[in-house]
Amino acid sequence: MIMGKQKKMSEIIVQIDGKEVKAAEGMTILEAAQKADIFIPTLCYHEKLEPYGACRMCTVEVEVRGWTNLVAACLYPVEQDLIVRTRSEKVDKIRKLILEFLLAHAPCSPQLQDLAQEYGADKDRFEKESSFCIVCGLCVRYCAEVKKKNAVGFVDCGARREISFIPEIASKECNSCKECFALCPTSYLQAAFVLTESLAFPAESSQTALKK
């Protein structure tokens, strides 16, 4: 298996945007790119969490063993002689449309607006949707993996997928935590929290809503 430019058993050389990057076995393209200071946009990625692959903003073009493919950089494992292109016509088109989809939900999100400028995404392309959650899952995963409280989770599926707080757990844990609020690219998380608080928290703790 040792051939070409491989120096140690676990070190792999890949090419990202024409630049040679040293990566370790088991790394993803995104990790390798970040190590080499090459920027790949992400929305659902967070260094403390397992990569999720839901937003697809990190889609890049890869070429290996004669095959060209479009893959999610946050999940695709590096391999020897992998060639990666973080920008291309196809990649840019994908990112632009993903942004336009999400801007129909949350046109005022700062993260989306910054990326929209870069990719020329038009926030008025699609009719405005009422739900302003972009279902990136950062809140759900943070609560499950880092805080291990599972106070918020996903419900429903398909186009109706949304986040939902578990009233019993949220009423006990969230007021002293709220670390996930800072991760939310829109403010839907706070809105969902106060909604659950006002509608579903057990009677004693709902007093806090009126006191605020």
Partner 1 sequence: MAAGHTFEPKILGFLCNWCCYAGADLAGVSRFQYPPNIRVIRVMCSGRVDPAHIFRGFATGQDAVFIGGCHLNDCHYVTHGNYDALAMTYICKKLLEHIGLNPERLRLEWVSAGEGIRFANIMNEFVPRIEKLGPLGKGEGLDEHELRFKLEAVTKLIPYIKLVQSERLRVPDKTEEVYTEFFTGEEFNRLFDELIGDKLALSQIMALLRERPHSTGEISAKLGLSPSEVSRHLNVSARSQNVSTVAVDNDSIDGIINKHQGKADSLVQVLLEIQHKNQWLPQEVLDRISKKLDVPLSRIMQIVTFHKTFRLIPKGRNDVHVCMGPSCYVRGSTRLLDSVQDLIGFKSGEIDPDAKLSLETGTCLGCCNLGPEIIVDGKHHARLTPDKVKDVLKNYE
Partner 2 sequence: MPRINSASELEKLRKGILSVRDPDKPCIAICAGMGCLGLSNGRVISAFEEEVDKKDLKAKVEIRATGCHGYCEKGPVVVIYPEEICYVEVTPKDIPEIVSQTVLGKKVIDHLIYTNPDTGEKSAHLSEIPFYKNQMRQIFGNNTKIDPRSIDDYLAVGGYSALSKSLLEMSPEEVIDEVKKANLRGRGGGGFPAGRKWDTARNAPGKEKYVIVNAHEGESGAYMDRAILSGNPHSVLEGLIIGAYAIGSHQGFIYARHDAPQLKKNIDIALAKAGEYGLLGENILGSGFDFHVEVHLDIGIFVSGESSALMRSIEGNTPEPRPKYIHTSVKGIWKKPSVLNNVETWANVPLIINKGAEWYASTGTARSKGTKLVSLSGNIINTGVAEVPFGTTIREIVYGIGGGIPKGKKLKAIHFGGPMGGSIPESLLDKPLDFDELAKLGASIGAGSMLVLDEDTSMVDVARYFLDFLSNESCGKCVPCREGIRQMLKILTNICDGKGREGDIELLEEISDVTGAASLCALGKTAADPLLSTLRYFRDEYETSIAKVISPAEKRE
198 binds, among partner 2, partner 1, none (CB under 5 to 8 A by kind): partner 1
- What is the enclosing helix (H) or strand (E) of 83? strand 83-85
Residue among 94 and 201 whose Cβ is closer to partner 2? 94
What SS3 class is residue 189?
A: helix
d(CA 124, CA 54): 23
Binding-site partner at residue 177 among partner 2, partner 1, none, CB < 5 to 8 Å by type = none
Q: Tokens in use for 63?
A: 């070429």
Told to check if 152 binds partner 1 by CB under 8 A, we report yes
Give the CA angle between residues 135, 125, 183 to the nearest 5°.
25
Tokens for 101, please give them: 């989809």
187 binds partner 1 (CB under 8 A): yes
142/201 with CB nearer partner 2: 142
Q: Contact positions toward partner 2, by CB under 8 A?
A: 53-56, 59, 70-72, 75-77, 90, 93-94, 97-98, 101-102, 104, 126-127, 129, 134-135, 137, 154, 156-161
Contact 57, 96 (CB under 8 A): no
Q: Which C-beta is closer to partner 1: that of 15 or that of 205?
A: 205
Which C-beta is closer to partner 2: that of 102 or that of 143? Answer: 102
Can you say whether the dihedral through the CA atoms of 157, 90, 66, 55 is positive or negative? negative
Residue 188 contacts partner 1 per CB under 8 A: yes
**Rounded to the nearest whole angstrom, what is the least distance from the CB of residue 98 to partner 2 in the complex?**
5
The CA distance from 193 to 111, in Å, is 21
Measured N-to-C along each axis, helices 89-103 and 110-119 cross at an angle, to the nearest 10 degrees, of 140
Positions touching partner 1 (CB under 8 A) are 106, 108, 128, 130-132, 140, 144, 150-157, 164-169, 186-188, 190-191, 194-200, 203, 206, 209-210, 212
